[in-house]
Structure 1
Amino acid sequence: MSIRPWRDIERRPSRKIHVGPVAVGGDAPIAVQSMTNTDTGDAKATLDQIERIAEAGADIVRVSCPDKRSTAAMAEICRLSPIPVVADIHFHYQRGIEAAEAGAACLRINPGNIGKRERVLEVISAARNNGCSMRIGVNGGSLERDLLEKYGEPCPEAMVESALNHARVLEEEDFHEFKISVKASDVFLTVAAYQALAEATDKPLHLGVTEAGGYRIGTIKSSIGLGSLLWAGIGDTIRVSLSAEPEDEVKVGYDILKSLGLRHRGVNVISCPSCARQGFDVIRTVETLEARLAHISTPLSLSIIGCVVNGPGEARETDIGFTGGGGDAGMAYLGGVPAFKLKNEEMIDRLVALVEEKAAKFEEEQAAAAQVAE
């Protein structure tokens, strides 16, 4: 389906950097990342969780390094991780040096926590010597004391000034492989800070509403904050911060990008909220289909509509569709065209099979095209 002009999002031009093999910024796809919550010193548990995060579709994973035991485990973690690892060092500049030497693809530092400029310079040196990029991570809850005294409270101006001050230190050392984030738990503060930062620099920006909350409210806050910025073309990589499993963060991140047409992964299920006209139990059907199709990474669309009021129209716009027709059967659509009648009791199994077949065919075609290109 062609993209109409009013759906176009013109992304903000930004410098391209790399986090390991993953490009961030410029014309690269918006990267999705999450963070482990295991004991980093337990390399096996951390790698097991990274595998699940990668399986969910994450491009990058952040791993906290609060102590020397953590960075000691980083060599194995970085060597075996299927996706690039960002080491989060927070207060401990020495951990940054150790993580860089252990193979981290990126170092995340918070200028309000790391301390003296000399320590920052040591971390920059370690990143340069080991091929690491960096992320300047400004947080509204840990701004430098002098900026809090200057502005009186966390505000967009203080956050942007903190970010630019630290960026200047890196640039003065001729280090340019870095991205910036200016996160806060307040959606308004977060959006305003990113808007101002986007005008002040061409560096790639990592988006997030930090400490957004549990799965439901955190998803809502992140969707509003990140969605507003992405719609305006701002943002090169994202993390949805939830008090939930890291895999859920990745899935919500993709759902936000998918809803804006910025990136597609997995099955986009379009479904009605259901009403008295429904010809089958829409809510339970969608729950079951989403669970059974969670393994599909191919970008496909599936419409599940309870009746014929909107069903045929929605089905015309999706790869596969089903519309309830009353009684014990409805109409299945393929490529937007009515294909065959389908009994409600057979619907779930048949739709799962149709999606799996289409996904397999798509992957075969992609593999063949790649082979021809080589």
Structure 2
Amino acid sequence: MTKVVKIGNVMIGGGNPVAVQSMTNTDTKDIPSTVEQIEKLQKAGCQIVRLSVYDSECVDALKKIKSRVSVPLVADIHFDYKLAIGSILAGADKIRINPGNIGAKWKVEEVARVAMTHGVPIRVGSNEGSMDESYIKKFKSKVEALVYSALDEVNVLESVGFKDIVVAVKSSDPVETIQANEMISKMTQYPLHIGVTEAGIYEDAIVRSAFALGHLLYEGIGDTIRVSIAGDPVREVGAAYSILQSVKRFEGPEIIACPTCARTEINVEELAAEVRSELINVKGKVKVAVMGCVVNGIGEAKGADVAVFGTKSGGVIYFHGKIISTVNRDEILPTLKKLVEDHLKGEKDEINKNG
């Protein structure tokens, strides 16, 4: 089991639930836009948010942003160790540095000393773009280069007594990502942040991330995750939870939907997205089905706790194996949410009853 590391009010490692991360793509110095995006990420369920800190003005902005949001913030630092120190002093909940691009060993050590004084963890992030060329030349495979690049940086942090560390080894190749994390998980007890870096546009990113992260999580590897998608980062959060749910590492509403056909009487994709959004903050195990028609829907939704079958005017509502009502389109969401709450309350009551 990995070591526990505290990032703001979020605990990762040590058997804690896998935490979902994302990263803003607004200019950090544009404080209103960045705060707005952080709030959207948090509303979607993001538990830790990373921001680029690329100059001293970003450090000043970080301090102001920190005062306006409640989610833990990670300062993403490249090249300048002074920005890392400034971010710690500005209130960052974690610092992310890449081995090979901060510079001399003494600079990393100085960052570690300041972080230790202020109780701020450091994530060591190793990827092909950040590694010193010597690692590529020294090792036979990129996987080994990624792993030892990260471990050498960990050793530098440990040399000054710093052990509040999170480790990430990422490749844009999903197989390399799997192999690197499998390897490093046997060599360190620090919590692992897992993800496929530069995963691509939406469809490609989803497939690559689901393959690599799902594989690792199923093996019990990974304490916090990010699904990297080019574009709106809010989409990353939903994808992360879908992966976690698929490998039984998160208990929340599971939304299933039919692929649609000529019998479909409602916009299934649109309604399913609305249902997901409506239930985003619901905690507990429940399966909700959104089906395009009554013809096939009843049979296909047998495994669901709650379901809606589309009709021209709204939907037929199904609960625990029985059709219970017919509602208009504008009544579907509140009806489903109430039934989900009833289902979860019943589950809780049953647990309490059985001790």
TM-score for both structures, normalised by structure 2: 0.89
Residues in 2 aligned to 1:323 and 1:52: alpha-carbon distance in whole angstroms: 30
The equivalent of 1:110 in structure 2 is 98
Distance 1:272 1:293, change over 3 A: closer
SS of equivalent residue, structure 2 residue 51: strand
Distance 1:19 1:122, change over 3 A: same
What is the one-letter code of the residue matched to 2:17?
P
State yes or no: 1:242 paired with 2:229: yes
Conserved? CA contact 1:62–1:85, under 8 Å: yes
Deviations 1:20-76 (A, max 9, x none): 110011121100011111111222221121111111111000011010110111111
Distance 1:306 1:36, change over 3 A: closer
Residues in 1 aligned to 2:16 and 2:260: alpha-carbon distance in whole angstroms: 39
Gaps of 5+ in 2: 350-355
Distance 1:53 1:249, change over 3 A: same
Which of 209, 224, 243 aligns to 2:196? It is 209
Shift of 1:359: 5.0
Conserved? CA contact 2:260–2:268, under 8 Å: no
Residues in 2 aligned to 1:213 and 1:182: alpha-carbon distance in whole angstroms: 18
Task: Note the 1:193-342 alignment, pairs <5 A.
Answer: 193-265=180-252, 267-275=253-261, 278=263, 280-281=264-265, 284-291=267-274, 293-296=276-279, 297-299=281-283, 300-306=286-292, 311-312=297-298, 314-323=300-309, 332-334=317-319, 336-340=320-324, 342=326
Shift of 1:117: 0.6
Q: Alignment RMSD, CA only?
A: 2.7
Shift of 1:361: 5.6
Percent identical residues: 37
SS of equivalent residue, structure 2 residue 67: helix
Residues in 2 aligned to 1:259 and 1:46: alpha-carbon distance in whole angstroms: 31
State yes or no: 1:71 paired with 2:59: yes
Distance 1:294 1:328, change over 3 A: closer
Conserved? CA contact 1:285–1:348, under 8 Å: no
Residues in 1 aligned to 2:107 and 2:315: alpha-carbon distance in whole angstroms: 67
Distance 1:301 1:158, change over 3 A: same
What is the one-letter code of the residue matched to 1:255?
S
Conserved? CA contact 1:151–1:158, under 8 Å: yes
What is the one-letter code of the residue matched to 1:122?
E
Task: Note the 1:57-136 alignment, pairs <5 A.
Answer: 57-136=45-124
Shift of 1:306: 4.6
What is the one-letter code of the residue matched to 2:282?
T
SS of equivalent residue, structure 2 residue 290: strand
What is the one-letter code of the residue matched to 2:339?
K
- Number of equivalent positions: 346
Distance 1:328 1:353, change over 3 A: closer
Residues in 1 aligned to 2:33 and 2:79: alpha-carbon distance in whole angstroms: 24
Conserved? CA contact 1:301–1:320, under 8 Å: yes
The equivalent of 2:154 in structure 1 is 167
Distance 1:293 1:192, change over 3 A: closer
Distance 1:177 1:314, change over 3 A: farther
SS of equivalent residue, structure 2 residue 199: coil
SS of equivalent residue, structure 1 residue 114: coil
Distance 1:51 1:136, change over 3 A: same
Residues in 1 aligned to 2:318 and 2:341: alpha-carbon distance in whole angstroms: 19
Residues in 1 aligned to 2:218 and 2:189: alpha-carbon distance in whole angstroms: 18
Residues in 1 aligned to 2:312 and 2:89: alpha-carbon distance in whole angstroms: 66
TM-score for both structures, normalised by structure 1: 0.85
SS of equivalent residue, structure 2 residue 153: helix
Shift of 1:260: 1.7
What is the one-letter code of the residue matched to 2:180?
A
What is the one-letter code of the residue matched to 2:119?
G
Gaps of 5+ in 1: 1-12, 369-374
